[in-house]
Amino acid sequence: MARYQAGIRTETKILEATRELLAEGGLDAATLKAICDRAGVQAGSFYNIFPSKEQAIMQVARDAIQAVDPNPERSYTDTLDDLVDAYIRFVTDQSDLARIYLQVAVSGSADDSVARRFLRHHVRRVERFAAAMRRADRSLPDGEATTRAEVLLGALDGLAFRWVLDRSFDFAKHARIAAAHCG
């Protein structure tokens, strides 16, 4: 545990390096040596702070998963547009985390605790989207709203995925069209 300032600084540097490497080249690029080199730190220092490489990666992944959700405290007042805009901003402004968000989810099979975390988070997101839809249209049945939310979130994830493969793809435009069709 970091209790001196030096330790806290080192932890930060390591997490930054890990995040950059994950964004640039995925899990394969985030080797211990690469992380330590970029953070300007030796292996021993790494293991003084993190019990394993995986723990550092998990922490970055956790941050990425949480960053996709805007203002969790006002979960029950936001509109569908708010949520979609937040997703667009997340993908375009925090593209590093967005990329990790998608990568971690797919390659999670090897380490299924990440996949489970991702899924739990997704379910909560679907509920939030569905609630926003029902607030806009009170006559919408509960099940219908959930189904629509699943479709919309699927579309957003799929389009983000498309954008990760080809940065010239206009993610925002397509995301808004998807929202218009499903909302």
Partner DNA sequence: TCCAAAATGGAGTGTATACTCAAAAAGCCG
Partner DNA sequence: CGGCTTTTTGAGTATACACTCCATTTTGGA
Binding site for a second copy (CB under 8 A): 24-29, 102-103, 105-110, 115, 118-119, 122, 147-148, 150-151, 153-159, 161-162, 164-166, 169, 173-174, 177-178, 181-182
DSSP 19-68: HHHHHHHHHHH--HHHHHHHHT--HHHHHHH-SSHHHHHHHHHHHHHHHT
Candidates 15, 21, 22, 41; binder of DNA (CB under 7 A) is 41
| 67 versus 161: smaller Cβ distance to a second copy | 161
- Stretch 93-132: interaction string toward DNA, x if CB under 7 A: ----------------------------------------
Give whichever of 75 and 107 is closer to a second copy, judged by the CB atom.
Answer: 107
Choose between 56 and 80: whose C-beta lies nearer to DNA: 56
Dihedrals φ, ψ of 79, to 5°? -95, 170
Sequence-separated (6 or more) residues with CB below 8 Å from residue 110:
none
Given a contact cutoff of 8 angstroms between Cβ atoms, the answer to whether 91 and 171 are in contact is: yes
Closest CA to 117 of 50, 61, 60, 159: 61
Residues 6+ apart with CB under 8 A from 135: 79
Which of a second copy, DNA, none is residue 41 near (CB under 5 to 8 Å by kind)?
DNA
Q: Which residues make up the interface to DNA (CB under 7 A)? A: 1-10, 30-33, 41-49, 52-54
